[in-house]
Chains A and B, each alone.
Chain A
């Protein structure tokens, strides 16, 4: 397959996944902002979220202060913010457009239709129908796109690069979602014990990654931070966990393997096996936030390596 084609497929999938996870992060943060608390605390929550998404400076260049409404506007509609859902869906569609001949017509139409609909959304419409309905819509468009991908695409290299993009992005994004939650723990609070008041926060987090029922099913017990972390980091049967994401990254990578990709595969395999054989207690001992940051650095590195090995190879 053409390197450029693989590049477009990879980024098409990453942007769709990013749009979905941005909706998830916004959803959980928005829900947490509704808890009884003062304005400063709400502002701190949004500022923390933007920091983790590395968009704090871009936001402050446009808005003087943090408010729920302006953050939502910035993160959903802002055409200058490369991380906004608007821009993610546009980039998804642009990448799909560039390789539409490689996609099944259903997949192309899904992406095109999502974009046409997004163009028609406005802040006013959003407030009228409720943010929840909008975030649901984004998630369902992403579900649809994934389903159409799996349901219609030939299981060849094109599909591997799409899946690689999906799971590399998801690994990064799930780590960020966890970081957002950990921002909200009070300074000095014990990471291992849940406060009664925290229940709402943990359940909101689980719901944001579609894991609330899963948690109940797996643990059949009350919600504790340690188990939530275990579920979202180490459980390979949890579709949005770091372990699952890395497992998919690794297996898709080995199936597109070429003459120059050995080291990239080794690094991905190493990260995957750490998750496969890791224990959550050990991870917490070293500090969970540091662990997550470190994990994201390694995902970033993997992304660069995949690009060098397959997508934009230096002169052949």
Chain B
């Protein structure tokens, strides 16, 4: 095992508590263990009663699970957040420029910064979008960028989620829970608020309404109550005060989208859709989709309805495009990237494949189109057998994989069965782009609860923590 040193969010290498954790650490040591145990049980029962659950694919249908919530917050000092925020804004700006470019003049391809076939032959590239104009040239109005902190404390972007990133409801509920359980902690710390996120989201969506619509009707489109993120869809619709619709509630007439209401058809202008591209319109994409609306793409291309996020954003958050993001920042913004990219080996290149095959035990190998922590190999945490199985996949379909060095993900003290122990975590801040780019401080912190595990996805048994950005 190559990795030994992890960055601990709470304590420095010499064992002293970091300054921004001092208040919390003091509180933790003076609070009786039974009170904490009681509060943790209370949190569980509240989450159950609220029905804050997610459905798990592959288990008995309708299975709902709680995402474990840990009461030790992940704390980020003001200055650190400021740098992080600047880097994220820069990155998402460049990504929106990139998507606009490749669906219009493709300057970046012409300039030779990215091989054209990498983009145009990508399954996530949607030729239907070529030449289509979208309001404000914003494609990824809602981006969830996964960030991790490695050995020396430096941040890396792990992936840019530009399709239908989820998790923001847990960020909001975790905060609500912490304030309910431990109001005294908030009296002691200046924690930057996050509660206005739904307002910000609504403002963003409204700012992206089709040209000429002054008082747009916004809806949230969900695949339905059995989707793993249904809680979040319902939550956001409720918090924004807009309708939560399913495909069957909508229809298209004369390139205009309507919803079926008790008072007859009503026009819809902006759709915050939580349905994947493939399922949006059975007329053009998957014919068997029951989740979409026939003719939606016609209305969209005619500029009569806004879809957020736009169709075809997947081409920019694909793992095979990820290595080029720093190049995009230089190309479109003329700036140097603020945030680090993880060095990436693209197995479609023979020399990268050769390197990957030679270093499997120390690398993380991911499917180019995979998500949710499925279909990946974490070399240092795998058995020889698992590694050899993956070797066969790689040799058979090298273009389907990328490899990256295993990052020494930072860790943070977390309540586990044996008491308090360090567990690895990541951070997903949300970046909203409309007429302006907006963020709430922090994001969703996900924590891998299994000892030593580097996979934080909730579908793989990850939990969450409240994320505090301390105001200066």
Q: Tell me the A residues contacting B by CB distance below 8 Å.
A: 1-6, 94, 97-102, 105, 108-109, 112-113, 116, 157, 161, 256, 258-259, 310-311, 313, 315-316
Contacts and interface: CB of A to CB of B under 8 A. Distances in A.
Given A5-B243, A101-B234, 7 more contacts: A2-B243, A98-B225, A101-B237, A161-B262, A258-B264, A315-B251, A316-B264
Given A2-B249, A4-B248, A97-B51, A310 B262 contact: yes
**Which among B234, B251, B258 has the greatest number of chain A C-beta atoms within 10 A?**
B234
Contacts of A101: 233-235, 237-238, 244
A3 B261 contact: yes
A308 B140 CA distance: 40
B240 to A, nearest CB: 9
A108 B265 contact: no
Contact of A1 (B48, B49, B50, B261): B261
A258 B262 contact: yes
Interface string B233-268: 111011000011110110100000011111111000
A109 B264 contact: no
Contact of A100 (B48, B234, B259): B234
Contacts of B265: 316
A178 B251 CA distance: 46
Interface in B153-205: none
A6 B249 CA distance: 12
Given A101-B235, A101-B244, A6 B262 contact: yes
A28 B50 CA distance: 35
Nearest to A256: B262
Contact of A2 (B233, B234, B245, B251): B245
Nearest to A8: B225
Nearest to B219: A2
Contacts of B244: 5, 99, 101-102
B332 to A, nearest CB: 38
A94 B230 CA distance: 13
A109 B263 contact: no
A10 B258 CA distance: 23
Given A4-B246, A100-B51, A316 B260 contact: yes
Given A101-B234, A101-B238, A316-B251, A4 B260 contact: yes
Nearest to B220: A101
Nearest to B224: A98
Interface of B is mostly: mixed
B264 A97 contact: no
Nearest to A311: B262
17 contacts: A1-B243, A2-B262, A3-B261, A4-B248, A5-B244, A6-B262, A94-B225, A97-B51, A97-B225, A100-B238, A108-B51, A109-B50, A112-B49, A116-B49, A258-B262, A311-B262, A316-B264
Contacts of B48: 116
Interface string B12-56: 000000000000000000000000000000000000111100000
B261 A2 contact: yes
Contacts of B259: 2
Nearest to B236: A101
Nearest to A103: B238
Contacts of B251: 315-316
Contact of B260 (A102, A161, A313): A313
Interface in B287-321: none
A2 to B, nearest CB: 5
Contacts of A3: 249, 260-262
A309 to B, nearest CB: 9
Interface residues of B, number: 25
B252 to A, nearest CB: 12
B271 to A, nearest CB: 14
A315 B258 CA distance: 12
A106 B50 CA distance: 9
A4 B259 CA distance: 10
Contact of B264 (A4, A94, A259, A311): A259
Interface centre among A98, A258, A316, by most chain B C-beta atoms within 10 angstroms, is: A316
Given A100-B51, A102-B238, A109-B51, A316 B243 contact: no
Nearest to B64: A97
A4 B237 contact: no
Contacts of A311: 262
A286 to B, nearest CB: 37
B169 to A, nearest CB: 11
A256 B48 CA distance: 35
Contacts of A310: 262
B258 A1 contact: no
A311 B262 CA distance: 7
A256 B259 CA distance: 17
Q: Which 6 A-B pairs have the closest CB atoms?
A: A101-B238, A101-B234, A101-B237, A310-B262, A3-B260, A101-B244
A113 B49 contact: yes
Contacts of B238: 100-102
B180 to A, nearest CB: 13
A112 B260 CA distance: 28
A2 B266 CA distance: 9
A291 B319 CA distance: 71
Contacts of B233: 101
A138 B294 CA distance: 44
A6 B262 CA distance: 7
A97 B249 CA distance: 17
Which of B225, B233, B235: most chain A CB closer than 10 A? Answer: B225
A157 B263 CA distance: 10
A89 to B, nearest CB: 15
A97 B230 CA distance: 9
A259 to B, nearest CB: 6
Nearest to B244: A101
Contacts of A99: 244
A161 to B, nearest CB: 8
A98 B246 CA distance: 10
B421 to A, nearest CB: 31
B249 A316 contact: no
A296 to B, nearest CB: 26
Contacts of B234: 100-101
Contacts of A315: 251
With a 10 A CB-CB cut-off, give which of B51, B233, B243, B262 has the most chain A CB atoms.
Answer: B262
A102 B50 CA distance: 14
